[in-house]
Structures are given as structure tokens and as C-alpha cells.
């Protein structure tokens, strides 16, 4: 069986057996959402003291898995993207579950100037003092898309966001054709609870008028896809993808940067409270 084909129940059973082994008694189990998270966090934790594992099934299953396993192994934690939690549920508190500082780990990494500079220097000739402005402009360009995704979360609209959007961007005007994207999205959303595009646009504009915190509302994968489209537009790269850019920023992100995050501070508190070691050599 391929590792990507493993079911949630199979992974849960595998973890239970591993935790019951005598050698695992003092081992920390770090549970994550996806393969890209594994690649990042395995270089941030002490792998002599920790096992970093992926739980299939998304955030809900990750939270369920941590809660289940805590009943017989107290050194288990889960790390998940904050997504919209810090906006819609700021009181979120699940035992041994930790959230990224920003919307997701990609946005958290891009918050660091060195990561952003490395990305923009690689694919453009923009001077360093314009990099943050560029990032903010690209975030603003897709703000209506981000608001639509927040609306979907708030009202459980059951919208499917698999439709591409890069061709709907205009870097000359820093504009995004929201109406056309909504039409595409509705076409892929048979269970959508609202199918009138104008109603959705009005609701999106209402959210946008609240001046939402962009670091919490912007999806990092979306932003990296916009960066990729921008680099193609200016002719610096004709083939780069958002996924390739995500790989690039993971390689630049360091333990020292991680130690500046709120996530690290909370994990450090947890390790001290539990007399264990997550970091170090």
C-alpha cells in the first residue's frame, strides 16, 4: 500500500501500536495535516525525541486523532493551519492542538522579510525596499477571493474552490474578476446554498468593508499562486508554479525564524510543562 493511500483508521491504529511500544514511552508524537507540513516540521523538531507524522483526513480528523491518542499517550500534539479560526472562533482551545500564527504555515513563513526577499530576488529584479509593497499589493488583489472563502466558512455555503483563478488577475490594474470566479465556483458547487452571484458579491463587499486582517484571511497557497502568475507576467519565469514557490520558501525558512513565532512560544511552554524536549539537537 502506498503511504498516501492509508486511511484515517489505519493511521490511527498504526499510531496506537507505535505508542504502546516500550521505546515510545518518552517520545513526542507531532501530528500534522499534510506532506508539505511534514517536510517543514521535520527540520524544526528534535527527531531523536520526536516522531513527526501525517494524519489523513484534514483538520477535523487531525483534531480527532490527537484527542483519541491523548487517552493513553500524553506526549502527543497536533499542529494545524489556523485557517479562519482566529477570525470566526478566537476562543478556540483544544487540548494539545496548536495553530499557525497566520492563516497557514505559508503565510507565516512569508511574514519573515528574509523569506520574502529570497523569493522575490529569485524571480524578479525588484529592489529590496519594494518587496513588502509588492506582497501587500498581491494580497489586496485577491482580497475579494479571500473574503469569499471566509464567507463560505462563516455561512457554510458549501462552495467548491477548485476552479482556477490566475487568468482572472490583472497586475496592471491590481484587479481580480470576482464575478467571473463566482460563476466558475458555482458551476463546480452542486450543493451550494447560495447560487446568485450578485448576492455573493454583496456579502463579500460587506466583509471587505470590515477591513479584515489580511494575515488571517489570505490563503498562503493562493498568494503563492498569485506570485507565480506575477512572475510569469513580468517575464522572469514562464513555468514556475505556486507549489514550487512553496517548496522554495520552506527551504529558506530556518529554525531561528521559527523560534520567533507565537507557535514556537506555545510549543515551548507545552514542552516545559510536560518535562519533555521538542527542540534542540
Q: Is residue 57 part of a domain?
A: yes
Residue range(s) defining the domain that contains residue 118: 107-254
Q: Is residue 278 part of a domain?
A: no
Q: What are the CA-CA distances from residue 127 to residues 117, 118, 133, 163, 235 (Å)?
A: 9, 12, 11, 33, 17
Shared-domain flag, residues 157 and 204: yes
- The pLDDT score that the predictor gives to residue 1 is 41
- The pLDDT score that the predictor gives to residue 4 is 64
Residues 6+ apart with CB under 8 A from 244: 228
Q: Could you report the per-residue pLDDT of 158-173, keeping only the tens digit for each? A: 999 999 999 999 999 9
Q: What are the CA-CA distances from residue 279 to residues 48, 66, 159, 223, 261 (Å)?
A: 10, 20, 40, 30, 14
Shared-domain flag, residues 57 and 93: yes
- The pLDDT score that the predictor gives to residue 31 is 98
- Class of residue 20 by CB neighbours under 10 A (exposed 0-12, middle 13-18, buried 19+): exposed
Q: Could you report the per-residue pLDDT of 245-263, keeping only the tens digit for each? A: 999 999 999 999 999 999 9
- The pLDDT score that the predictor gives to residue 280 is 77
Shared-domain flag, residues 45 and 137: no
Query: How far apart are alpha carbons 44 and 39 in whole angstroms?
Result: 10
Shared-domain flag, residues 126 and 226: yes
Shared-domain flag, residues 166 and 78: no
When divided into structural domains, the chain yields a total of 2
Q: Is 46 helix (H, G, I), strand (E, B) or coil?
A: coil
- Residues with pLDDT less than 50, the chain: 1
Shared-domain flag, residues 217 and 127: yes
User: Quick check: 115 and 253 in contact, CB under 8 A?
Assistant: yes
Q: Is residue 280 part of a domain?
A: no
Query: How far apart are alpha carbons 137 and 108 in whole angstroms?
Result: 17
Residues 6+ apart with CB under 8 A from 260: 112
Q: Is residue 39 part of a domain?
A: yes
Shared-domain flag, residues 52 and 111: no
Q: Which of 70, 75, 44 is nearest to 276 (CA)?
A: 75
Amino acid at each position: 500500500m502506498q503511504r498516501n493511500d492509508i486511511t484515517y483508521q489505519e493511521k490511527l491504529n498504526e499510531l496506537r501500536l507505535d505508542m504502546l511500544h516500550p521505546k515510545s514511552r518518552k517520545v513526542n508524537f507531532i501530528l500534522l495535516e499534510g506532506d508539505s507540513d511534514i517536510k517543514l516540521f521535520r527540520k524544526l523538531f528534535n527527531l531523536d525525541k520526536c516522531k513527526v507524522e501525517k494524519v489523513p483526513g484534514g483538520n477535523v480528523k487531525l483534531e480527532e486523532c490527537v484527542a483519541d491518542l491523548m487517552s493513553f499517550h500524553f506526549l502527543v500534539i497536533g499542529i494545524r493551519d489556523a485557517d479562519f479560526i482566529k477570525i470566526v472562533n478566537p476562543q478556540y482551545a483544544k487540548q494539545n492542538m496548536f495553530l499557525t500564527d497566520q492563516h497557514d504555515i505559508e503565510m507565516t513563513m512569508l511574514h519573515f522579510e528574509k523569506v520574502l526577499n529570497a523569493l522575490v530576488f529569485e524571480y524578479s529584479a525588484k529592489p529590496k525596499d519594494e518587496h513588502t509593497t509588492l506582497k501587500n499589493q498581491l494580497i489586496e488583489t485577491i482580497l475579494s477571493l479571500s473574503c469569499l472563502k471566509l464567507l463560505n466558512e462563516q455561512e457554510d455555503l458549501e462552495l467548491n474552490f477548485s476552479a482556477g483563478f490566475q487568468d482572472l488577475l490583472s497586475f496592471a490594474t491590481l484587479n481580480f474578476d470576482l464575478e467571473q470566479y463566482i460563476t466558475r465556483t458555482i458551476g463546480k458547487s452542486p450543493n451550494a446554498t447560495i447560487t446568485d452571484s450578485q448576492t455573493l458579491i454583496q456579502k463579500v463587499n460587506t466583509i471587505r468593508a470590515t477591513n479584515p486582517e489580511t494575515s488571517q484571511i489570505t490563503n498562503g497557497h493562493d498568494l503563492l499562486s498569485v506570485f507565480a502568475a506575477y512572475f510569469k507576467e513580468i517575464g522572469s519565469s514562464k513555468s514556475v508554479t505556486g507549489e514550487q514557490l512553496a517548496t522554495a520558501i520552506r527551504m529558506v525558512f530556518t529554525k531561528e525564524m521559527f523560534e520567533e513565532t507565537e507557535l514556537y512560544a506555545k510549543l515551548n511552554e507545552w514542552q516545559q510543562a510536560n518535562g519533555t524536549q521538542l527542540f534542540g539537537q
